[in-house]
Structure 1
């Protein structure tokens, strides 16, 4: 068969690249489990994939292609089972409904968020009563936020406290395309979140001092004031709580937010600094330098530093991935092999997916691996290797390095764009240029200064270096604000479809992982996926799952039903609407009639006027008037139960309907509705055991 023969020739030419697809195929199975709705769909896919695997094994006959197909089927099947098993292994009760509770709880963790003036507590309830004094059963692990001024002395890990808190089930997405905290909370074992109120009584103080991470963060922020201190703490411990919200937003808009998340850049800097210091210091001892391989000792010291830094910064997914990659690089260097390869990246991804398969659907994992894969794939290309090779003229060599930085920045921005558009509904334009300055500035100036300051702090000589570090990080913040304030620094986009995102990612991987000319068959997939994502339609109407907040598209931006919506809700509805402008008040828009209790407005779409009414307060509305109004409206939205006689012309969204659908987005030309909750969804965070009764 000529076609099979050509496939075998292609597989032989790509034999060194085939192992790189191991984590990709495992990830495909994991992604399928998250995308498909219920056990029947998961089982059907496993049967189909298993059938493909058996057919490939039967027809293999020694051929490389069929063996690869069979192995691919096994990996996809393993991914489905791995995600399913992980979700069931972390199963824990979840609160059924909002509840005001007086409880006694043990403190599991304390996380100060200085910039927001709050302290976040992870609690394990011991006993609890509701507002009427009846005993209630709470989930075994809950997260509560306290105002910083309400935090008592003696609060820490291991303390037992009494407090009053308003608790809520972990929230799902506000509307389709929003962040799904309920899913993230499921894998963290968090069954409820809420806000605690003073007074908080410490029944038994913490039996241990704050952890090293917390003490180090507090020490750094005491030495370096403001958001610069918060960035310094983030570089050392991964704690971003002391970074002001305006500064954090500027870093995001400038494409520099990755500097605040401890990952490959930071691990590489720590390992490199420790290796250089170790080798230089040991070289001062001639007897040792003549008898031992100092680079090997330096690599060992770097490995210890990488593991310690990973533990200190909380062992988040990007840090674990980077630590694994650093270990493999150091082993390769010790063996005299090439260090940075795509096999190393694949090994890191495989380890993370095996132990934390849920990381695949998070933006952190995707951004981290997309960036490193793009960098390594570009620098492995023969033409790039030749261009970056040694040059006798130092001026040309310097120019090449600057060009390499610019090329790397552009490639990384291109690789991260689909992920940023899909998760954050934004695309940055100047991130590559900003990173050319910010990455070397952070790696070769800020981090060495901070390391020196930390080493000298115990003997009281760190002051000048802390001051210098504050100035250096101040320059970084100035750069972030300058770039973020440039016209068009960020383009806001509506929510993109999942299939287009998957198509773009698959095409990008096809280009990055293969080496023959067949790799360019991935380019159409990337182009089509990106074009569909960028052309995603703007929703005409957004309704949150509680029915309290409604966003209506106007020419100037999104108009909000409630004038006093909080910052989080205002930002979220703007992002989901695909606009970067400040939200408007619906009551101030032409054609809108708003009273204390209701708003009525109209949207001209599809050659007709759509009439919309929504409740905007907790006050009761006379039913007779409400029923009469419903008959004149196309869409009615309410945060309460509406009478059965309320029959708008097209859609009624009261709290009964919204409990089934969750948040909703609507397009009116043609009329389409997207819901957060698929009625057939049987993922465990959608169908959980709910405590909270007597």
Structure 2
């Protein structure tokens, strides 16, 4: 009599057969598992949830043990669960280990400091200095100060001693939900405060005529040979320093999908390594003795590796550069061993290395964009049908040119599709013509601009680089023309409001499922990918956006127009609020909108949502309103917003958003149908930078507290 297998074994056997067919793709999920644990720590609010997530991951590993280590499914569950728990422990431990003091209260400070790093910002006529204040200055060990060029005491370099008087403040959280969280970045960078220097800045020691660092000197040299915007973009292509690029040019590069050319990444490192290998190999091959007796390919690979490492150090060691350098080194190792190293395993190894050393890089746009793009490119060109279609063959040059153009088009389309949800999540915008722009821009940059700049830099040693600089300037101006033409084309950019993190997670999970697996099961990834993209596209824009200081308010009127409370808001505020609201055009002023009544001191806005009328009251000046009138107005308003403290008797029907309340919540996104509030600072959040922001808010509240017996009198004045 045949013994019937238990019912639960049948699906396990099916998974086992599938994993056997996918055995070459299973190791690609190692960085995904580590990233799952890291992402869970960032997404979940507090210690209880982190511990629960770690136990869940370990439970997956225990389930794998129950299935059996002799099965691929069991081993896969064990490794995934253990690596996810490792990722969570890594980021939790790193965030705790690097903890440094954070300034609790904004104020004016005068202190002596040692310069640790200099970042010139020529486009803004200033520079950012990371300095280490002396002990006893009452400041954290490392702070960032912006200094205007006119106040700079000559050329300041790392190691100089300076005396600064600056208004310093704690690192700021995101101004509104979905905005850039500088507090989180500052925590992992070890920065405890940021501020702007007031004149004069005095050099205490250091040679004012000392030579700048190699990177600064190279930037200055390139900008000295190439004038205007071409010089700014040319220096960024060489060193990755984008501080000299004008805002309008940077925006055009972003809107046209060409911004990736400005950060040193795979394109630049590959060009540098490839050029070094080619030059060394051709020079050594001129000698018959060396060509016959020496391993020239191995020597050329070593020269390429040294070039890649040196270029990475020169470019500042950012995540995309390090990732590209690691990938290049793995490629060179594969070439030296006679293997094809351009595989998804190479990408997975680079991602795993970055996450093990810098786990916080996972949530940065740079890591997500660079690895998503490389994974898409390698997966596309590894597919047998695509490889067969695009592989080189003996044919006439028009056919070869057409095949190259098709390759660039398919690559651009794949990259644009993969990067779209990430770009929408981080920047609230996605370029629609980027694939077409990259067809011209990538070859122009790789095969024209960069070789011309490299030749010009080399020939400048003999004073012969001028013709090459002239040609490079023409090519760079053409690149900028393409960027501006594409950026200004109708419908070039899709703007969407802040995308939920869950939607991004679904999109990335679906994309990885499709890119990493090889069998037909990969198409199941379309379900989470489509769900994530649909959730992102269908996310309704908020009706109200309030910044964390209460000074700025964006209101979406009944006709769909987005207007600002303060018409004199600067470009930064307009771009930040417009991006979070999914607005790409100019923002109007609330005083000119129908449905609003404004005086110099306050504005009433009536909004029709959910079958009822919402009454919004916002103050917009420093003038104290009459106490009785303010209290009566609060009682008839649904939402009251102010950048100062409101009296306890001010009791609106729903939300009271004054200075004390906003210190605890941070910026807010408010939807009225149905009523929903999203805050920057999670009330249950226990991430260390959130606790630092909360402590700074509490300190600011104590420093500005007014005794109860004086409040009514002040309000009546």
Q: TM-score range by the shorter chain?
A: over 0.9
Distance 1:433 1:475 in 2: 15
Asked if 1:640 is matched to 2:637, the reply is no
3-state SS, counterpart of residue 498 of structure 2: coil
Residues 226, 244 of structure 1: 8 Å contact kept: no
> 2: CA distance between counterparts of 1:415 and 1:148?
40
Moved more, 247-256 or 208-217: 208-217
2:498 aligns with 495
CA contact (8 A) 2:670 2:678 kept: yes
Structure 1 spans left out of the alignment, 5+ residues: 129-135
> What CA distance in whole angstroms lies between the structure 1 residues aligned with 2:561 and 2:472?
41
Equivalent of residue 650 in structure 1, options 650, 654, 667: 654
**TM-superposed deviation, 1:556:** 5.8
How far does residue 55 in structure 1 lie from its aligned partner after superposition? 3.1
Q: How does 1:149-298 map to 2 (within 5 A)?
A: 149-153=150-154, 155-206=156-207, 209-298=211-300
**Aligned residue in 2 for 1:524:** 527
Aligned counterpart in structure 2 of residue 426 of structure 1, from 413, 425, 429 = 429
Q: Deviations over 1:324-355 (max 9, x none)?
A: 00001111111111121000000000110011
SS in structure 1 opposite 2:691? coil
Matched, 1:339 2:334: no
Secondary structure in structure 2 of the residue aligned to 1:685: helix
- The 8 Å contact of residues 105 and 127 in structure 1, kept in 2 or not, is answered as no
Write out aligned runs for 1:47-58 (5 A): 47-58=55-66
Distance 2:238 2:155 in 1: 25
Of 438-447 and 201-210, deviating more is: 201-210
Could you state the TM-score of these two structures normalised by the residue count of structure 2? 0.94
Distance in 1 between the 2:38 and 2:548 partners?
28
The C-alpha deviation readout for 1:57-111, integer Å capped at 9, x for no partner, is 1331511111110111000000000101111121101111211112222211121
Matches of 2:540 and 2:508 in 1, distance apart? Answer: 21
2:631 paired residue among 616, 627, 633:
627
Using the alignment, how far apart are the partners of 1:322 and 1:635 within structure 2?
50
Answer with 194-203 or 369-378: which moved more. Answer: 194-203
Q: Distance in 2 between matches of 1:361 and 1:48?
A: 22
From 19, 29, 35, the counterpart of 2:27:
19
Larger mean CA deviation between 553-562 and 256-265 belongs to 553-562
Query: Are the counterparts in 2 of residues 103 and 127 from structure 1 also a CA contact under 8 Å?
Result: no
For 1:679 and 1:51, the matched residues in 2 are separated by 29
Q: CA deviation at 1:511?
A: 0.5
Distance 2:116 2:11 in 1: 61
SS at match of 1:688: helix
Give distance in 2, aligned partners of 1:206 and 1:529: 56
> Residues 155 and 212 of structure 2 are in contact (CA less than 8 Å); yes or no, is this contact kept in structure 1?
no
Is this contact kept in 1: 2:157–2:213, CA < 8 A? no
- Matched position secondary structure for 1:119: strand
Shift of 1:389: 2.6
CA contact (8 A) 1:224 1:470 kept: yes
The separation in 2 between residues aligned to 1:200 and 1:189, in whole angstroms, is 23
Distance of 1:679 and 1:185 partners within structure 2:
21
1:286 Cα deviation after fit: 2.3
Pairwise mapping of residues 454-533 of structure 1 onto structure 2 (< 5 A)?
Answer: 454-533=457-536
Distance in 2, Cα, partners of 1:206 & 1:357: 39
Residue 575 of structure 2, aligned match among 567, 571, 576? 571
Is 2:92 the counterpart of 1:84?
yes
**Aligned partner (choices 545, 559, 566) of residue 562 of structure 1:** 566
Alignment partner of 1:661 is 2:665: yes
Q: Which moved more, 1:583-592 or 1:151-160?
A: 151-160
Shift of 1:622: 1.8
Structure 2: gaps (5+ residues): 1-8, 704-717
| 1:93 aligns to 2:94 (yes or no) | no
Q: Say whether 1:120 aligns with 2:128.
A: yes
Q: 1:59 aligns with which of 55, 67, 79?
A: 67
Cα distance in 2 for partners of 1:360, 1:602 equals 42
Shift of 1:171: 1.0
Give, in whole Å, the separation in 1 of the partners of 2:597 and 2:391.
69
* One of 585, 599, 606 as aligned partner of 2:603: 599
Contact kept, 8 Å, 1:23 with 1:350, in 2: the verdict is yes
Give 1:624 shift.
Answer: 1.4
Cα distance, 1:364–1:229 mapped onto 2, change above 3 Å:
same
Separation of aligned partners in 1, 2:110 and 2:597: 43
Q: Give 1:138's aligned residue.
A: 139
Deviation at 1:287, TM superposition (A): 2.1
Q: Distance in 2 between matches of 1:12 and 1:127?
A: 61
**Whole-angstrom CA distance in 1 between matches of 2:617 and 2:347:** 53
CA shift at 1:462, angstroms?
Answer: 1.4
1:610 counterpart = 2:614? yes
Query: Size of the alignment, in residue pairs?
Result: 687
1:309 deviation in Å?
0.4
1:392 is displaced (CA, Å) by 2.8
- TM-score normalised by L of structure 1: 0.97
SS in 1 for 2:686: coil
State the shift of 1:14 in Å.
0.5
Q: 1:224 to 1:390 in 2, by over 3 A?
A: closer
Q: How far apart in 2 are the matches of 1:469 and 1:98?
A: 47
Rounded Cα–Cα distance in structure 2 between residues aligned with 1:561 and 1:222: 44
Q: State yes or no: 1:44 paired with 2:61.
A: no
